[in-house]
Amino acid sequence: EAGVAQSPRYKIIEKRQSVAFWCNPISGHATLYWYQQILGQGPKLLIQFQNNGVVDDSQLPKDRFSAERLKGVDSTLKIQPAKLEDSAVYLCASSLDYQLAEFYEQYFGPGTRLTVT
């Protein structure tokens, strides 16, 4: 079974520039998550989708971050404009259906390591 795909794997940008990350979840997974993981910390949930609807975006800095999952499959996360403190690994994860506890296991992609200079 193919895992969660993410691209790019690495990105270096200057502050105030824009960047976009792409994620393709495991086939058949209804729930998709974007996390931010700063060095030395645990992943922080930015946004969660159920199919193409947003379930939770309470920790997404909406003034600069946006995300979409238009067809309920792959997703993009955008930062515009980037700040130095956005330097982190951005992880995408998917699960079958977050409403079913036994299927709640999340499978992560390899992440995109963003450096903002």
CB of residue 7 to another protein, shortest distance in Å: 14
Residue 89 amino acid letter: V
Length of the chain: 117
Span interacting with another protein, options 17-25, 37-45, 69-77, 80-88, rule CB under 8 A: 37-45
Span interacting with another protein, options 16-24, 63-71, 73-81, 98-106, rule CB under 8 A: 98-106
Residue 43 amino acid letter: P
96/30 Cα distance (integer angstroms): 5
Span interacting with another protein, options 17-25, 43-51, 65-73, 74-82, rule CB under 8 A: 43-51
Q: Other CB atoms closer than 10 Å to residue 84's CB: what's the count?
A: 10
Facing residues of 89 across strands? 37, 113
Instruction: Return residues touching another protein (CB under 8 A).
Output: 33, 35, 40-45, 48, 55-56, 58, 91, 98, 101, 104-111
